[in-house]
Structure 1
């Protein structure tokens, strides 16, 4: 088991390193750079060149990437194009995004399991079809469309919720109600996806010999679902749920920008506009670390369940 954990963790770390290399390369091919993006109107070419040298942009890409990666194990995420430590810039937004993402993830897991089990309890019936079609439609709608509809209905039409997030002196949302629409914007598409995953995993288990034997023994349907189908479906469900963490962080970039939520999505949008490679890489490594940990947990759950069954 120890070797399996080490091997899985090693693959996740390698994937994160490759992703960071892609980020550095992608920013490099964008027009302009951090020095020109931060230049003031009328600034001379010599001034821009001096700033480019100060930021190390005159060094080869591979050298900048190697220097950044060398400092990463010490917790140093580099210095932004504005001269601030990236760790300081992410100290407040990262916890805000984690609150948003964790809340959305927990709600997604609960709703997906309930809806998937409800549909599986009535295979082929009207309830199963309605849940199936609704979940497919929910997943097909992008987060920015869901956000726009929520803003229109819950803010502009009814006035129930504030349209934008107002932060307090601590950099956090001033009221918990300001989390409702951003969380819903993330939950709705991911609940659609994971409901389909849960329903499909339970359907695959429905034809297993031990499940058919449980039906023949006359066990109640809810007992068959919870004690015979669901345990065998756990590996597929865990993988689907873990995949949602990456989609949640991706959706957070759009949702946080639309609702003016003070998270890393807003920071990332500004960093891309400023061509601020260290800040972009810092956001990516924080989000990637969280996603990698969740994927690692899902891998361990899958190995543990399949190992017990073997």
Structure 2
């Protein structure tokens, strides 16, 4: 190779490599923009929470008043809680303190940060375990059905997944309580709390996790099956079949990677459903999570606690959605 050819090859290599840093910067900029948009959306949601609690009958001072308390005592506590100030002013103060980690004070005089210190990790444990069970089950069922498209297994799995996703969490919870606790005695019907505030045994997680995972596993299995069906006619998948590769290898090595964007988006969407369903499931199983705290806070009209729960769960959902966006962008960017 002469010197001119070497120079041309070097220039071509530089041209190919140069855009990489720019692509990284562009990806970081897009991620920052998405985070800013979701932070703004969360702020609007928190404003709606403050306004909605304000419209409910009564307030935190009357809801937490002692029996026989005088009107003067209730008015004094209302002033102490700042309820005599405009709602927009209280919302502004709460939002200003939020970036510092200060979630305010509850209507009963407890720091909200301390109030959520034990329940929030418990809910994260429940939600993360249910999310993992959901994803693994959905991938297994979706891939199993895709190995024999249109076959008996595929049709049965499609019917079963349709039934599962139509079942509300409380119906699944009642069924699990009957089958695994009352009739067989295999699992404890309620959750007992250890001294540190966590569930006393891992067996107490089984039914709450299943109650959350069953409907979402059915939904995500259908997404996996549909995404694999869309990939079945892709050129690289067709070429792999024509090369004589086994159906399992074609599915796992060629169809599944292209289906990841849709799978990741569906799984991320399920995060909100899992955390929302956790409120009902935690109440039914007496699980020491945010559901119990939230139900008590609504009864007390305790705006700082309700807003803190919404902020914590909203932050988790936003991060999971961002992860799904990154998986989708990486997968699409890796395609030739």
* Fold equivalence (TM over 0.5): yes
Please say if 1:276 is aligned against 2:299. no
Render the CA deviation track for 1:195-241: whole Å, top value 9, x for unaligned.
01111111111121222222222221111111211111100100110
What's the offset of the Cα at 1:46?
Answer: 2.0
- Structure-2 residue corresponding to 1:67: 93
Quick one: distance in 2 between partners of 1:201 and 1:31?
48
Give the one of 88, 96, 111 matched to 2:114.
Answer: 88
- Structure-2 residue corresponding to 1:223: 249
Give the one of 171, 174, 182 matched to 2:197.
Answer: 171
SS at match of 2:259: helix
What's the offset of the Cα at 1:255?
Answer: 0.4
> 1:12–1:296: 8 Å Cα contact kept in structure 2?
no
Superposed, 1:33-52 pairs within 5 Å as: 33-52=59-78
> 1:93–1:264: 8 Å Cα contact kept in structure 2?
yes
Render the CA deviation track for 1:23-53: whole Å, top value 9, x for unaligned.
1112111111111110122222222221111
- Structure-2 residue corresponding to 1:257: 283
Quick one: distance in 1 between partners of 2:271 and 2:75?
40
Superposed, 1:172-211 pairs within 5 Å as: 172-211=198-237
SS at match of 1:194: helix
Please say if 1:57 is aligned against 2:83. yes
Quick one: distance in 1 between partners of 2:159 and 2:53?
40
SS at match of 1:173: coil
Give the one of 249, 252, 258 matched to 1:232.
Answer: 258
- Structure-1 residue corresponding to 2:271: 245
> 1:38–1:274: 8 Å Cα contact kept in structure 2?
yes
Please say if 1:266 is aligned against 2:292. yes
- Structure-2 residue corresponding to 1:112: 138
- Structure-2 residue corresponding to 1:160: 186
Larger radius of gyration: 2
Gaps (5+ residues) in structure 1?
A: none
> 1:239–1:299: 8 Å Cα contact kept in structure 2?
yes
CA-atom RMSD, angstroms? 1.0
Quick one: distance in 2 between partners of 1:40 and 1:295?
44
Displacement over 3 Å in runs of 4+: none
Higher relative CO (Cα under 8 Å, sequence separation at least 6) belongs to 1
- Structure-1 residue corresponding to 2:177: 151
Gaps (5+ residues) in structure 2?
A: 1-26
What's the TM-score once normalised by structure 2's chain length?
0.90
Render the CA deviation track for 1:133-175: whole Å, top value 9, x for unaligned.
1111111100011101111111111111111111121111111
What's the TM-score once normalised by structure 1's chain length?
0.98
What's the offset of the Cα at 1:281?
Answer: 0.7
